């Protein structure tokens, strides 16, 4: 499965169709919910029925929808694909299918630009993640991306087993020796973790280890790894990859929720202190037009209609006269999609927040400003 990166998303966000609408289709194809291929086709039929009505009279969009339908009906490998993100603009030869190992919310969006918000959210939710499992003899290191295992390394340093049979004095020496071996084993484990980090550059590291092992292991980890440590998982060193993956995903989403909460708190502080922060659709669109945004925060699933200026591209919650150039504006089905796209095109950070009540109260969208 090809790896989607922020670069892929920014390239899509930068796509311009010269006034021809772009069709974005997110389709949930999760085999755990939709068992048969027919179920997937039905999911798509329901979506398309609704959209075809709205797309009336736009040949490029009808061609997009036909191509999407042909692609999905043609069948594709669902063994590892749980979601599809499809971007199409037939008139401008844009056709990109991005299979995702995680489910998405089924939705078709027709807009001036590719609707990359949900894709961005998926990528943020599933950063590269390292998992190190260790006990006194065994160490296993895994790297996950988008919930999929991409690399692993395992090592076993067996400790001598026979020291119970020795005499009292000798046993003391052996115990000391065993501790030294265990320490050496943990050093090797820390080295193995760092090697995979150098190779893959994961953002977070979670460790599954008994308390005593963790106490010995932590100081041995490279500082780059220590600063990436997040919640520990309680998974035995010999657990199955699937159990490890599940435990890691829980830590990962908790980590992401915390990062979102920190960003929203910064926004609240900025608004409270009266500078460098705004919230609510109207104000956020205004600062985007002025290119003042450092970070855009938006609630996952937020969508609202709005207006875009035909001559200058400015966005507004209310039309139809542009405040920037006094030009005529046209109505847009989903202005939030446009806002995310504008932010990405301006190289702003975009944080898609899931279930963050504080951001919802602020109007589901906010921006931290550069000036």
Could you tell me which stretch among 25-33, 185-193, 301-309, 339-347 binds Zn ion (CB under 5 A)?
A: 301-309
Q: Are 287 and 322 in contact (CB under 8 A)?
A: no
Compare residues 101 and 327 and give the one whose CB is closer to Zn ion: 327
Sheet holding 329-332, edge to edge: 315-316, 306-309, 329-332
Bridge partners, 279 (sequence order): 366
Query: What is the smallest separation between the CB atom of 334 and Zn ion, expressed in angstroms?
Result: 19
Best CA proximity match to 196, nearest among 152, 154, 134: 152
- By CB under 5 A, name the one of 325, 345, 354, 369 that touches Zn ion: 325
Could you tell me which stretch among 63-71, 172-180, 201-209, 327-335 binds Zn ion (CB under 5 A)?
A: 327-335
Query: What is the smallest separation between the CB atom of 320 and Zn ion, expressed in angstroms?
Result: 11
308 is a site residue for Zn ion (CB under 5 A): no
Best CA proximity match to 311, nearest among 303, 302, 320: 320
Query: What is the smallest separation between the CB atom of 290 and Zn ion, expressed in angstroms?
Result: 13
309 is a site residue for Zn ion (CB under 5 A): yes
CA–CA distance, 67 with 88 (Å, rounded to integer): 9
- By CB under 5 A, name the one of 324, 354, 358, 360 that touches Zn ion: 324
CA–CA distance, 44 with 15 (Å, rounded to integer): 25
Best CA proximity match to 222, nearest among 253, 258, 197, 252: 197
Could you tell me which stretch among 88-96, 173-181, 262-270, 314-322 binds Zn ion (CB under 5 A)?
A: 314-322
Q: Are 20 and 91 in contact (CB under 8 A)?
A: yes
Query: What is the smallest separation between the CB atom of 112 and Zn ion, expressed in angstroms?
Result: 14
Structure token pair of residue 370: 């550069």
321 is a site residue for Zn ion (CB under 5 A): no
Query: What is the smallest separation between the CB atom of 286 and Zn ion, expressed in angstroms?
Result: 12
Best CA proximity match to 65, nearest among 47, 83, 82, 43: 47
289 is a site residue for Zn ion (CB under 5 A): no
Could you tell me which stretch among 113-121, 160-168, 228-236, 310-318 binds Zn ion (CB under 5 A)?
A: 310-318
Structure token pair of residue 65: 């929808």
Compare residues 275 and 330 and give the one whose CB is closer to Zn ion: 330
Best CA proximity match to 21, nearest among 51, 70, 66, 64: 64
DSSP 8-class letter at 229? B
Structure token pair of residue 113: 């630009």
Query: What is the smallest separation between the CB atom of 315 and Zn ion, expressed in angstroms?
Result: 10
Compare residues 92 and 324 and give the one whose CB is closer to Zn ion: 324
- By CB under 5 A, name the one of 24, 295, 314, 356 that touches Zn ion: 314
- By CB under 5 A, name the one of 221, 284, 322, 335 that touches Zn ion: 322
DSSP 8-class letter at 339? H
327 is a site residue for Zn ion (CB under 5 A): yes
CA–CA distance, 112 with 115 (Å, rounded to integer): 9
Query: What is the smallest separation between the CB atom of 203 and Zn ion, expressed in angstroms?
Result: 39
Bridge partners, 367 (sequence order): 278, 296
Q: What backbone phi and psi angles, to 5 degrees, belong to 205?
A: -130, 125
- By CB under 5 A, name the one of 175, 241, 262, 312 that touches Zn ion: 312
Compare residues 288 and 350 and give the one whose CB is closer to Zn ion: 288
Considering CB under 5 A, how many residues would be counted as binding Zn ion? 7
Best CA proximity match to 119, nearest among 138, 130, 136, 105: 105
Query: What is the smallest separation between the CB atom of 319 and Zn ion, expressed in angstroms?
Result: 11
Could you tell me which stretch among 54-62, 201-209, 317-325, 332-340 binds Zn ion (CB under 5 A)?
A: 317-325
The residues that touch Zn ion, with contacts defined as CB under 5 A, are 309, 312, 314, 322, 324-325, 327
């Amino acid at each position: 499965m090809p790896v989607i990166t922020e670069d892929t998303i920014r390239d899509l966000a930068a796509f311009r169709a010269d006034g021809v609408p772009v069709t974005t289709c997110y389709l949930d194809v999760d085999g755990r919910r939709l068992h048969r291929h027919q179920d997937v086709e039905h999911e798509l039929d329901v979506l398309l029925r609704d959209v075809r009505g709205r797309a009336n009279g736009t040949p490029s969009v009808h061609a997009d929808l036909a191509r999407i339908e042909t692609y999905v009906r043609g069948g594709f490998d669902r063994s590892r694909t749980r979601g599809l993100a499809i971007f199409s603009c037939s008139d401008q030869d844009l056709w990109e299918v991005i299979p995702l190992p995680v489910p998405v919310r089924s939705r078709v969006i027709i807009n001036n630009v590719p609707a990359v918000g949900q894709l961005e959210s998926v990528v943020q939710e599933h950063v590269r993640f390292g998992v190190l499992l260790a006990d006194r003899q065994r160490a296993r290191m895994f790297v996950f991306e988008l919930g999929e295992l991409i690399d692993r390394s395992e090592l076993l340093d067996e400790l001598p087993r026979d020291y119970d049979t020795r005499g009292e004095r000798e046993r003391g020496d052996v115990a000391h020796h065993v501790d030294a071996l265990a320490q050496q084993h943990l050093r090797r484990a820390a080295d193995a973790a760092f090697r995979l980090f150098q190779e893959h550059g994961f953002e977070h590291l979670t460790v599954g280890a008994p308390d005593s092992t963790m106490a010995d292991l932590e100081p041995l980890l490279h500082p780059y790894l220590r600063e990436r440590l997040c919640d520990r998982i309680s998974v035995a060193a010999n657990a199955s990859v699937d159990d490890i993956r599940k435990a890691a995903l829980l830590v990962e989403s908790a980590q992401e929720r915390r990062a979102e909460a920190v960003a929203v708190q910064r926004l609240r502080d900025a608004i409270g202190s009266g500078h460098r922060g705004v919230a609510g659709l109207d104000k956020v669109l205004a600062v985007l037009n002025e290119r003042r945004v450092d970070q855009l925060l938006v609630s996952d699933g937020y969508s609202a209609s709005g207006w875009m200026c035909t001559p200058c591209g400015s966005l507004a919650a209310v039309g139809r006269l542009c405040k920037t150039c006094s030009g005529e504006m046209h109505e847009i089905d989903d202005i939030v999609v446009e806002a995310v796209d504008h932010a990405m095109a301006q190289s702003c950070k975009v944080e898609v927040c899931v279930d963050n009540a504080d951001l919802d109260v602020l109007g589901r969208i906010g921006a931290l400003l550069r000036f």
